Amino acid sequence: MIKAGIIGATGYAGGELVRLLLNHKEVEIKWYGSRSYIDKKYYEVYQNMFKLVDDKCMDDNMEALADEVDVIFTATPQGLCASLVNEEILSKVKIVDLSADFRLKDVKVYEEWYKIQHKSPSFIEEAVYGLCELNREDVKKARLVANPGCYTTCSILTCYPLVKEGLIRPETLIIDAKSGTSGAGRGAKIDNLYCEVNENIKAYGVATHRHTPEIEEQLGYAAGRAFCLNFTPHLVPMNRGILVTAYASLTKDADYDTIRAVYEKYYGSEYFIRILDQDVCPQTKWVEGSNFVDVNFKIDKRTNRVIMMGAIDNLVKGAAGQAVQNMNLMFGFEETEGLKLVPMFP
């Protein structure tokens, strides 16, 4: 049994971490960190935790926390984890950071896109990008894992096999993504009010969304060359879920069986990636509440393009579930422990 602490336990991703870890047979949560609710009972913030969690919310003192637990999850805005972490803390505890502080390997790119100064650039090289299906062996040895973003997880896993095999032309890749409102966090914002979101859909962060360089960097590793793409996110009136539809020109003629074989090559043995049957398009409802990624594709012979599709729950595989998956690898647990969740349908 290991002990876990969560900084940012009262945000949406933090709340999902609590939900998942309470059902993990190898973990005990010892610290529910939240600047906004210090000394307030956790169940008073999330009433669904009544009779499940009686602990009070604590502060974000990472140094004190490192003396009490084996793993720290930082489900916080960009900049906080980098401002708190140091060598002494990492000598005592492993960290899974759900923010973007250690995802990008170029500090200049991070500061350009996030508009803040990086407080711990010395740890960027060490941090392992925690997309388990691609970096499993590195995650196992890591003491600091950068948990990928929700849009990036869905986008990368949807496109990775064809990028890796050189079956699409990188310069033609366009990614269209749609997310539920929980992806914007739990803080009060006018754009996320019910009357603003309900019966509405809109693009945002067009050509400027912060997940763009993360997708480009990881797909660039797969392609073995610099990657530049168009990524456009949209906000849709649902609580949770991400749907990605990506378009790219094929480098050669390919039929269904050829493309299917490529996806099977990379994902055939992956528990959390489900390659759907031919002509079945992913839907967010099918993965809601679970750590699954549903992917599929369609070849458009008329334009010689392939349409790649993927769906995840942004709060589970896109955040908390993936963080637990990373923790399982870091501590040698069964990778699926605490994550064999049946999707919530209908």
For the beta carbon of residue 259, count every other beta carbon within 10 angstroms. 21
Q: What is the DSSP annotation of 124-181?
A: TTT-EE--HHHHHHHHHT-SEEEPPPHHHHHHHHHHHHHHHTT-B-GGG-EEEEEE-G
Given the structure tokens 């309900």, which residue do they identify? Answer: 198
Positions marked active-site: 150
Nearest Cα residue to 309 out of 319, 299, 320: 299
Kindly state the helix (H) or strand (E) to which residue 266 belongs, with its residue range. Answer: helix 256-267
What does the alpha-carbon distance between residue 33 and residue 10 come to, in Å, rounded to a whole number?
8
Tell me how far CA of residue 166 lies from CA of 121, 250, 252, 256, 308, in angstroms.
Answer: 33, 9, 10, 16, 15
Cβ–Cβ under 8 Å, residues 74 and 65: no
